[in-house]
Amino acid sequence: MSTTALTILVAGGAGFVGSHLCETLLQKGHRVICLDSFQTGREGNVLPLCNFPTFRLVRHDVARPLVLSEKLDRVYNLASPASPPHYQADPVGTMMTNVVGTLNLLELAERNGARLLQASTSEVYGDPEVHPQPEDYVGHVNCTGPRACYDEGKRAAETLCFDFVRAKRADVRVARIFNTYGPRMRADDGRIVSNMIVQALRGDPMTVYGDGRQTRSFCYVSDLVAGLIALMEVAEAPATAVNIGNPEEFEIRELAERVRDLVPTSSRLVFSALPQDDPKRRRPDISRARDWLGWEPKVSLAEGLPQTVAWFAAEVTPAVPAPLRVARSVGAV
Ligand code: NAD
Ligand code: UDP
């Protein structure tokens, strides 16, 4: 990590991961511009960051043309809904955010001579036939299904990134992020960790899709942020994408039981159909992150889940946040 103070744009910085990333970068002494449409992001995530004089918040849709007055050193592109219910609510918008938005940010990075990190996803592997998933696995994605707007949007975004690299137009790094959880997920996010915790806290039925034998590997958000920064700051850009995730693999049913062990609740598990194209198994091969970045996760599910439960326990009966003043974009911001 450089000790120089950098000017860093975090697109999608008001979201779950983005707000933690902004906070860590500010704590390291950098200037951070958080750019967000607030489609799924929350003002409450970034309100405390406004105490840093080096923080600026801009409301803007990355799929619209983008000009910034500041000279940028780094661009993190996290702008995209990530939860299946949220990215499927406006599938065309999701595709445009990921394709046009990524192109706009790549061109911004090119104009600034800035490095760009693209937040890609394990969804580029689709419902994988190779387990665990190494980066050279090309994936098994249904391009016409309900998840395609996200999976194919992220795959096209990766294509744009590596086309910019081949044309020497920008220094780009691509992180393939596996399921990440932690404080600041929305209570209505719809992903498994937040759903199980919120349902258990409210005494509602805990919704398990399919038989709950499908697996995911859960990474705590502080580990992900450390991995993203390590990839952004490694001197030589890896020529390929890099998986960032925690290889500890769990059946969804087991995750639900672990939440029930932590939350005194009357909630019962209720089972319903597995959504179309839902991946059956997922676990990252993180050899490249270990070898190239010297990064590996430090927080096990046994440590991270109680911290997340504690945060949601306060969140599900929240105080009303103060209104936030946000600069509005008019094309040039
Ligand atoms: P999130 O929904 O909490 O955050 C996404 C942020 O992007 C939100 O603040 C949202 O308002 C913003 N955004 C969406 N569309 C935008 C647009 N057109 N213009 C500007 N801002 C826009 O999701 P997250 O979990 O924090 O995910 C962050 C990034 O990491 C996403 O790109 C996601 O695809 C990727 N990712 C996350 C996970 C995970 O498990 N959290 C896994 C794989 C990939
Ligand atoms: N899932 C579930 N109940 C829920 C939400 C999700 O059983 O309330 C399942 C979902 O079908 C998937 C897994 O949990 O098999 C992880 O889902 P999530 O939406 O968190 O992430 P993704 O499918 O994108 O990995």
Instruction: List active site positions.
Output: 150
The answer to whether residue 67 sits within a structural domain is yes
If one counts the domains in the chain, the total is 1
Alpha helices per DSSP H over the chain: 16-27, 43-46, 84-89, 91-112, 148-166, 192-202, 221-233, 252-262, 287-288, 301-315
User: If you take atom 29 of ligand 1, which residue's CA is the nearest one?
Assistant: 78
What is the pLDDT at residue 165? 98
What CATH code is carried by the domain that includes residue 226? 3.40.50.720
195 in any annotated domain: no
* Predicted local confidence at residue 327, as pLDDT: 47
What number does the ligand 2 atom closest to the CA of 83 have? 19
Name residues contacting ligand 2 (CB within 6 A): 83-84, 179, 191-192, 195, 207-209, 214, 216, 252, 274-275, 278
262 is a domain residue? no
Tokens matching residue 199:
């349902």
Is 307 a domain residue?
Answer: no
Q: What is the pLDDT along the chain (333 residues), one digit of tens a residue?
A: 446 999 999 999 999 999 999 999 999 999 999 999 999 999 999 999 999 999 999 999 999 999 999 999 999 999 999 999 999 999 999 999 999 999 999 999 999 999 999 999 999 999 999 999 999 999 999 999 999 999 999 999 999 999 999 999 999 999 999 999 999 999 999 999 999 999 999 999 999 999 999 999 999 999 999 999 999 999 999 999 999 999 999 999 999 999 999 999 999 999 999 999 999 999 999 999 999 999 999 999 999 999 999 999 998 864 444 445 444 443 333
CA distances to 125, 144, 151, 201, 299 from 91, rounded to whole Å, are 19, 11, 11, 31, 33
Three-state secondary-structure class, residue 188: coil
pTM of the model: 0.95
Q: How far apart are CA 81 and CA 175, in angstroms?
A: 16
Alpha carbon nearest to ligand 1 atom 1, residue: 15
Residue 194 located in a structural domain:
no
Between the CA of 98 and the centroid of ligand 1 the distance, in Å, is 10
Q: Measured in angstroms, how far is the CA atom of residue 82 from the centroid of ligand 1?
A: 5
- Closest ligand 2 atom to the C-alpha of 274? 11
Mutate to test the pocket of ligand 2, among 204, 216, 267 (most ligand atoms within 8 A of CB): 216
In a domain, 284, yes or no: yes
Distance 119 CA to ligand 1 centre (A): 8
CA 324/CA 321 separation, integer angstroms: 9
Q: How far, CA to CA in Å, does 228 sit from each of 58, 120, 166? A: 22, 11, 22
Pairing of strands 327-328, 55-59: parallel
At residue 284, what are phi and psi to the nearest 5 degrees?
Answer: -80, 145
Domain that holds residue 232: 7-181+218-246+278-297
Residue 203 lies in a domain: no
Residue 328 lies in a domain: no
